[in-house]
Structure 1
Amino acid sequence: MGRASVLRAYGGRGGVEYSAPRGGPGSPPWLEDTGLVGMGGLGLGGMRAEGLTGGAMARRLSVLQIGACAILGAYLPFFPVWLAHKGLSPSSIGALLALTFIARTLAGPALSFLADERGDRRPMLVMAAFAFMAVGAVMGAAEGFLALAFVGLSMAAFLAVTLPVTESLSVWNAVLHKFDYARVRIWGSLAFIATNIAAGAWVAREGPQVLPLAIVAGGALLLLAVRLLPEAAGRIRPQAAHPGEAVEGEGGSVAPPPPRLSWRDARALLRAPVYLLFLAGACAIQASHAIYYNFSALGWSGRGISEGVIGLLWGLGVAGEVVLFLFAGRLVERLGPAGLLVLGGLGAVIRWTVMASAPPVPLLVLCQLAHGLSFGAAHIGAMHFLARAAPARLAATAQGLYSSLAMGLLVGVMTLIGGGLFESVGP
């Protein structure tokens, strides 16, 4: 009977863990398929980015978070405004945005798997950066629904891989180099806020036609951020201490190189009960934000709340998220990933219950600060769960599946439901 291996799927005090002899009758088949059994938990071997301390790696990944979230901060709020500037009707804009949700759902897992298959995830981010710059360079000339749909689908597809790969590299390197992932992720949130403000001021002064320039600039920033990363930061190889090296296996034998990834490996994730349970819970929490993201401003405006106050309320939501990230390291130690997901779910239930009663502005302020729980705690819990439970070789794929469901398919469905409810019931 081989050495016992442990999968810490949740971690934290009182966390749940699965123990079984390697290859024994108690080993879940999906662990064998994905290579978790016998890797010693995370199984990161001893991979290091030579010449970089943990702090230096954290700073470079912080720049990557800034690059990934900055382009999202310019694109997400103002793309519908740009489409209206191009002459699309509200119904056509709605149809095009629905297509982008489909694109994210399909492209996210597929492109993330291709990034894993290559081993070094950086080339996929480089390709995404060049795609953003190319789309930004030509989108100003796009006219008509089909051309505009091509722009939207291209942006959605490459955003769907940029964010999961960025997150997977951040959280796995945080575990490896022993720095706080949330202190890296916080720079993404701050970049999103800053880009919202800067792009909003630019659009207000020059008009929506400046959005393509903002996207080109965002792509260039992302490219610069990727170029700052060493090769080892882009590789998550549990079998090797350094790229191209083998490590000793059990009994002093040399472990063979990992087999080439196949779609069978990716499908094995979807046969894993613990991963499916995680997807159900974490995606439901994030999808519950869909109506807030898409209709809160309309609802508050319909109640007579000014645009200035609405902007402040949205800013407070991100501020609550940032505060949570500042203390996330301690929360992960005390609660573990599962505890943070539960905390996020409870925060979401309380937040949406209170907001459904059309509370006054002072109470709305508290509800918005609770975004730190409903989104922030759930997001940190999800990232640490994936770092502890997903196979290293499928790090980006696991992130891509989660992101495509949580922020793609389910948000799209909830947006359609929310639109019907908003029209029939009102704010």
Structure 2
Amino acid sequence: MKDVSLKLTIAMHYASQGVFLPFLPILLKNHAFSYSQIGTLLAAGAVVGVLTQSLWGYLCDRLQTVKKLLLLQLVASVILSMYIFEINTFANLLVYLTVFYVFFRPLPTMFDTLIIQTISANPARYGHYRMFGSIGFLLTALFSGYFLNWFGLSKGPYLITGLIGLSLLCAVFIQDTNYACQTPRFKDFSELIKQPAILQFLLAATFLGTTHVANDNFISVHLQALGGSLKDTGLLWTVGVTTEILTFAVLSQLNLQGKSLYFLRLVALLYGLRWLLMAFITDVKVVLLIQVLHGICYSLFITMIQQYLVVIIPNQLRATGQGLMYMTVFGLGGVIGMIGGGQLMERFGSSNFYLSCLCFALVSFFTFQRLDKDRV
């Protein structure tokens, strides 16, 4: 039952993301915000991630509980999500979203910590649990497009709040993390982030994470600019997440331990190919086809990162390591991707936006390659 509760909690959280991520940029655009303002509003979450992810993780390790802090975050997220779109001015919305993200943004870190605890004997099973998040995302990305197209974008916030509430309900029944090691000291954390191999790994992953987050936050607007409808937006995410589920399912059956850096180099090249195609393709149907690469790239990327973290992060800093990864890869990378992406889209257009992503992917490839050589 507790194992099922964890899977359902993850599914409900990513189901809320299935509405929040694809349609938030469109909702903001309908509120007459510019591309650069949208980029700044979206980047608020990434900035908060940079400032708080490791802190939440360290608190979990220090207090030796993940569940209690997770429930606190979910309760706050439910309450705050109710009023996000009641605010129409840029400055006020920026402040409100920042407060909301303090609680909502770290949730994937908490879920991944619980997953890693559950699968500690077999890290390859990460994809099995994470697949349920993709299923939740898929269902809402598919049906919310039709729902919002029929009832209007103004109903989007109700979907988001309801799904976060369901995640909270399921989380009540999950099993807390079992810490079988001593409480970490701050000195342990400071020594961890001084290790060159860890810093180089996080740098390489952040370059790639920057492109992923930038695309996630602007692809819906890009598709609309190409003439796509709200249904096309829902279908876009459906295609990507369907391949994500299939890839997670395949990866959970394979034993790829010890090969993480090899596959991270491979996924950097796949991301590069994806951005190259997106830079020049303007046909909506072909863009939907390219989205197949989303699932393959993201599933392989996050699974290999998690497998490598299990190797390089001490057990007593399990949640701290997760927070550090999310802080840099999707936090710092998100800040660069969303603010920089908004500026690129507004000033230079989509083609240059995706060519910039291609350059970042190539830098990531060579950094992973150097890390692998240094390790040998």
TM-score w.r.t. structure 1 length? 0.72
Say yes or no: does 1:374 pair with 2:297. Answer: yes
SS in structure 2 at match of 1:333: coil
Q: Which residue of 2 aligns with 1:349?
A: 272
From 118, 123, 133, the equivalent of 2:68 is 123
Amino acid at match of 2:170: A
CA distance, structure 2, for counterparts of residue 146 and residue 421 of structure 1: 22
CA distance, structure 2, for counterparts of residue 113 and residue 154 of structure 1: 20
**Do the aligned partners of residues 94 and 181 (structure 1) sit closer, same or farther apart at CA in structure 2, a change above 3 Å counting?**
closer
The answer to whether the 8 A contact 1:341-1:381 is kept is: yes
Say yes or no: does 1:224 pair with 2:169. Answer: yes
Say yes or no: does 1:314 pair with 2:222. Answer: no
CA distance, structure 1, for counterparts of residue 349 and residue 201 of structure 2: 33
Q: Which residue of 1 aligns with 2:250?
A: 327
From 83, 97, 115, the equivalent of 1:152 is 97
Amino acid at match of 2:210: A
**Do the aligned partners of residues 261 and 178 (structure 1) sit closer, same or farther apart at CA in structure 2, a change above 3 Å counting?**
closer
CA distance, structure 1, for counterparts of residue 91 and residue 162 of structure 2: 25
Q: Which residue of 1 aligns with 2:52?
A: 107
TM-score w.r.t. structure 2 length? 0.81
Q: Deviations over 1:302-355 (max 9, x none)?
A: 445566445433322222211111110344437632233222112112222233
The answer to whether the 8 A contact 2:223-2:284 is kept is: no
The answer to whether the 8 A contact 2:12-2:163 is kept is: yes
Q: Deviations over 1:252-308 (max 9, x none)?
A: xxxxxx2x4333322222112222122122222222224422333444444455664
* Unaligned ranges ≥5, structure 2: 351-376
SS in structure 1 at match of 2:106: helix
Structure with greater helix share of residues: 2
CA distance, structure 2, for counterparts of residue 281 and residue 266 of structure 1: 20
CA shift, 1:106, in A, is 0.8
**Do the aligned partners of residues 359 and 343 (structure 1) sit closer, same or farther apart at CA in structure 2, a change above 3 Å counting?**
farther
Q: Which residue of 2 aligns with 1:9?
A: none
Which structure is larger by alpha-carbon Rg, 1 or 2?
A: 1
Q: Deviations over 1:57-80 (max 9, x none)?
A: 543321121132123223333444
* Unaligned ranges ≥5, structure 1: 1-55, 240-257
Q: Percent identity?
A: 24
The answer to whether the 8 A contact 2:138-2:242 is kept is: no
Amino acid at match of 1:342: R
The answer to whether the 8 A contact 1:343-1:377 is kept is: no
CA distance, structure 2, for counterparts of residue 425 and residue 150 of structure 1: 28
Amino acid at match of 2:279: A
Q: Deviations over 1:361-389 (max 9, x none)?
A: 67545532122332111111011112232
CA distance, structure 1, for counterparts of residue 339 and residue 87 of structure 2: 27
Q: Which residue of 2 aligns with 1:285?
A: 208
Q: Which residue of 2 aligns with 1:270?
A: 193
> Which segments of structure 1 move beyond 6 Å, counting only runs of 4 or more?
none
Q: Which residue of 2 aligns with 1:163?
A: 108
CA distance, structure 2, for counterparts of residue 212 and residue 423 of structure 1: 26
CA distance, structure 2, for counterparts of residue 369 and residue 290 of structure 1: 17
CA distance, structure 1, for counterparts of residue 224 and residue 94 of structure 2: 29
Q: Deviations over 1:78-116 (max 9, x none)?
A: 444555666756654443333332122212221222122
Say yes or no: does 1:386 pair with 2:331. Answer: no
SS in structure 1 at match of 2:194: coil
Q: Which residue of 2 aligns with 1:196?
A: 141
CA distance, structure 1, for counterparts of residue 259 and residue 14 of structure 2: 26
CA shift, 1:212, in A, is 4.1
Which stretch shows the higher mean deviation, 154-163 or 260-269? 260-269
